[in-house]
């Protein structure tokens, strides 16, 4: 392959040519929009570090869901800000919980949106950790039953997919068994299989009010330096019954997305997290970046790395930009 016989620029001469040979085509059909549901009615509070993202009461969530569906986005993922928190995150399993009520309201509104729920304890525990605390540590096995109960309560309310994000060992198996026992064999599991202990979650913790009150999450979330370990985590989750797997965050872990894509034949998702969103928003507000251009470039890079499902706060904007 040598010049002048080969001239790659021949295929870049016009938009029609570039479109013809384009390898990655970002579509709205692969996007999931994350939403934060809080108590009350007619509540819609913008998260200061995430412009355009709101903590909303159930009625407002339903309204935004109508908009999301109209834009052609196939699904949402729900996070809950409960009325009360305790050491064991018990409000996370309540049929009257904010997430459960939001799911029911979305179902009642006859929306066709896929409703995915985040399954974890950190939004519901007063200490802010993703599991229960025993002897000053996040205890793995006692956490599993609560996560499983939470997943079943989401399924009972009408969720299509549950997405455990806690990073406890064995949670997927516990959730699968509990769903099956309760006649929810058709409810799928999207596991946060390779979730890294990342500084990019900062704005989310404001949005979900889930900052750990002591210590950090390094004893359960993955070390950013590890790649081979991510493949082990994914393999374990699939063995335990995960239908789809996710890498989180997305942009600093494109190599992980690629390795997972190349190693496993299941749908792969990536979570373009709050900090990734906030960086773009802040730079765009200052006029330092062209928001539309960089967002489309970033999401294309996540898809090119191998993720066919992208969870992103940019979803609504992207759906508008991609509209023919
Ligand atoms: Zn958590």
* Per-residue pLDDT reduced to its tens digit, 243-291: 999 999 999 999 999 999 999 999 999 999 999 999 999 999 999 999 9
Q: Please give the C-alpha separations between residue 7 and each of 4, 228, 243, in angstroms, as whole numbers.
A: 6, 38, 44
Q: CB–CB of 312/277 below 8 Å?
A: yes
Q: Got the DSSP string for 14-40? A: SHHHHHHT-S----GGGEEEEEEE-SS
Q: Is the pLDDT of residue 207 over 90?
A: no
Q: What is the pLDDT of residue 173?
A: 98
The CA 107 to ligand 1 mean position distance, Å, reads: 25
Q: To which H or E segment does residue 72 belong?
A: none
> From ligand 1's centre to the CA of 154, what distance in Å?
16
30 Cα to the center of ligand 1, angstroms = 24
Catalytic residue numbers?
195, 248
* 153-195 pLDDT, tens digit each: 999 999 999 999 999 999 999 999 999 999 999 999 999 999 9
- CA 95 vs. chain centroid, Å, equals 23
86 CA from centroid of ligand 1 (Å): 14
User: Cα(208) to centroid of ligand 1, in Å?
Assistant: 10
Predicted local confidence at residue 282, as pLDDT: 97
pTM: 0.96
CA 43 from chain centre, in angstroms, equals 23
d(CA 89, ligand 1 centre) in Å: 11
Per residue in 231-250, pLDDT (tens digit) is 999 999 999 999 999 999 99
Tell me how far the alpha carbon of residue 122 lies from the centroid of ligand 1, in angstroms.
4
Distance (angstroms) between ligand 1 centre and the Cα of 120 equals 5
Burial 223-235 (b: 16+ CB within 10 A, else e): eeeeeeebbebbe
Instruction: Write down the H helix ranges in the chain.
Output: 15-20, 58-70, 98-108, 140-157, 171-181, 202-208, 228-240, 254-263, 274-285, 291-305, 315-322
* Distance between Cα 130 and ligand 1 center (Å): 4
Greater confidence (310 vs 324) lies with 310
What integer pLDDT is reported at residue 191 of this predicted model? 98
**Maximum CA extent, the chain:** 70
Indicate the average pLDDT of the chain: 96
CB 45 within 8 A of CB 55: yes
């Amino acid at each position: 392959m040598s010049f002048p016989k080969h001239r790659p620029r021949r295929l870049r001469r016009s938009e029609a040519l570039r479109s013809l040979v384009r390898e990655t085509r970002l579509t709205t059909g692969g996007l999931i929009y994350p939403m934060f549901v809080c108590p009350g009615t007619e509540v819609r509070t913008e998260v200061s570090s995430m412009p355009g993202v709101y903590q909303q009461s159930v009625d407002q969530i339903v309204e935004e869901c109508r908009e999301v569906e109209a834009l052609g986005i196939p699904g949402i993922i729900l996070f809950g800000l409960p009325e009360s928190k305790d050491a064991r995150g018990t409000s996370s399993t309540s049929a009257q919980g904010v997430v459960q009520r939001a799911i029911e309201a979305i179902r009642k509104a006859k929306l066709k949106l896929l409703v995915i729920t985040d399954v974890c304890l950190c939004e519901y525990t007063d200490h802010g950790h993703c599991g229960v605390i025993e002897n000053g540590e996040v205890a793995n096995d006692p956490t599993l039953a609560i996560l499983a109960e939470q997943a079943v309560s989401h399924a009972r309310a009408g969720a299509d997919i549950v997405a455990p994000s806690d990073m406890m060992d064995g949670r997927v198996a516990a959730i699968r068994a509990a769903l099956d026992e309760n006649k929810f064999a058709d409810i799928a599991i999207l596991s946060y299989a390779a979730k890294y202990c990342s500084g990019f979650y900062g704005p989310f913790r404001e949005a979900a009010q889930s900052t750990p009150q002591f210590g950090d999450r390094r004893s359960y979330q993955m070390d950013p330096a590890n790649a081979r370990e991510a493949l082990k985590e994914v393999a374990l989750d699939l063995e335990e019954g995960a239908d789809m797997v996710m890498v989180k965050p997305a942009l600093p872990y494109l190599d992980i997305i690629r390795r997972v894509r190349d190693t496993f034949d299941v749908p792969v998702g990536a979570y373009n997290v709050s900090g990734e969103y906030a960086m773009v928003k802040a730079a765009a507000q200052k006029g330092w970046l062209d928001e539309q251009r960089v967002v489309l470039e970033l999401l294309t890079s996540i898809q090119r790395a191998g993720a066919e499902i992208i969870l992103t706060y940019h979803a609504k904007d992207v759906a508008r930009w991609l509209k023919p």
